[in-house]
């Protein structure tokens, strides 16, 4: 058994595996499916969030690759491989795009090494690190990415695992500050909203039974992560409303894309 395999805990549900279950993946265990079904009972639309977030990722990366000329991506908290991962979307537009994935989930890392293979012209690398390990992430990413050139910093559904508000803002700011002008922040975050009380019940169940625990924030608090950046239209909105190809109902995942001036 490898070190990574020894770290995989199948006795408790895990957010990456539940997310995988909701999006139709097979990289999950009975404990994950049981928890996922229970959460879906509390909030029937929860599975749509995972799909909406994945579609937002695709639209954001396509825009950055096609319209902004971004050729470098730092994807932190990537989750389990699924359809249209960051490198697949980016390298479909620009085969020479470079992507560094970062995650500290052992199952994610095990699958990433096997499945996330990029184009011959580009490069795809992986790093075992926590979002809070900013110095480690930047030093390792610099071996693949040229941090003096624009980078897309992808933080989809990962800042929710930093409980302290000020720490979460500080981590994102340190990462953005280390990137060149013209870089972009792509971020999504679960929100608490008075129009969606069942979301709060689902999160409470998760935090009691699952790992790691997550923190909801208001839409205004999510927008604060983009302070100092030039927000791309339509701003920070439910991720299903960020430049959708077809209209979709709102979900309690808010997202935005901001450009570093």
pLDDT of residue 50: 76
195-234 pLDDT tens trace: 777 788 878 887 887 777 889 999 999 999 999 999 999 9
Which range, 1-10, 14-23, 70-79, has the best average confidence (pLDDT)? Answer: 70-79
Q: How far is CA 140 from CA 72, 86, 99, in A?
A: 14, 18, 12
The whole-chain average pLDDT of the chain stands at 88
pLDDT greater than 60 at residue 1: no
Q: For 69-78, 79-88, 104-113, which range has the lowest pLDDT when averaged over its residues?
A: 104-113
184-190 and 123-128 strand pairing:
unpaired
pLDDT greater than 80 at residue 6: no
pLDDT greater than 50 at residue 118: yes
**Of 32, 34, 6, nearest to 17 (Cα)?**
32
Q: Could you give the 3-state DSSP secondary structure of residue 211?
A: strand
21-70 pLDDT tens trace: 877 777 788 888 988 888 778 777 777 777 888 899 999 999 999 999 99
Question: How far apart, in whole angstroms, are the C-alpha atoms of residue 118 and residue 96?
Answer: 9
Q: What is the token pair recorded at 231?
A: 């927000």
pLDDT greater than 60 at residue 3: no
Q: For 106-110, 114-118, 131-135, 207-211, which range has the lowest pLDDT when averaged over its residues?
A: 114-118
Q: What is the token pair recorded at 148?
A: 């003096």
Q: Could you give the 3-state DSSP secondary structure of residue 72?
A: strand
Question: How far apart, in whole angstroms, are the C-alpha atoms of residue 4 and residue 228?
Answer: 38
Which range, 75-84, 179-188, 189-198, 241-250, has the best average confidence (pLDDT)? Answer: 179-188
The residue-averaged pLDDT of 180-187 equals 98
Q: For 10-24, 57-71, 126-140, 141-155, which range has the lowest pLDDT when averaged over its residues?
A: 10-24
Question: How far apart, in whole angstroms, are the C-alpha atoms of residue 111 and residue 255?
Answer: 26
For the full predicted model, state whether its pTM sits above 0.85.
yes
**Of 187, 241, 166, 235, nearest to 74 (Cα)?**
187
């Amino acid at each position: 058994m490898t070190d990574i395999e020894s770290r995989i805990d199948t006795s408790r549900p895990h957010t990456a595996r539940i997310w995988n279950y909701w999006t139709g993946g097979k990289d999950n265990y009975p404990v994950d499916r049981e928890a996922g079904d229970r959460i879906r009972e509390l909030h029937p639309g929860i599975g749509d969030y995972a799909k909406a977030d994945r579609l937002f990722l695709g639209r954001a990366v396509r825009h950055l690759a096609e319209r902004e000329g971004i050729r470098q991506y730092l994807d932190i908290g990537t989750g389990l491989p699924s359809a249209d991962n960051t490198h697949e979307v980016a390298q479909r537009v620009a085969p020479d795009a470079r992507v560094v994935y970062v995650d500290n989930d052992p199952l994610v890392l095990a699958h990433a090494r096997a499945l996330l293979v990029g184009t011959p012209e580009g490069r795809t690398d992986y790093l075992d690190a926590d979002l809070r390990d900013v110095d480690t992430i930047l030093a390792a990413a610099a071996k693949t990415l040229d941090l003096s050139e624009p980078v897309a910093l992808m933080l989809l559904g990962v800042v929710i695992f930093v409980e302290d508000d000020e720490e979460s803002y500080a981590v994102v700011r340190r990462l953005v500050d280390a990137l060149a002008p013209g870089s972009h922040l792509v971020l999504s975050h679960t929100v608490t909203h008075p129009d969606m009380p069942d979301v709060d019940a689902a999160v409470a169940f998760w935090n009691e039974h699952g790992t790691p625990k997550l923190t909801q924030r208001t839409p205004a608090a999510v927008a604060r992560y983009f302070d100092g950046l030039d927000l791309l239209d339509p701003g920070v909105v439910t991720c299903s409303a960020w430049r959708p190809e077809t209209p979709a109902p709102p979900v309690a995942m808010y997202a935005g894309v901001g450009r570093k001036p």
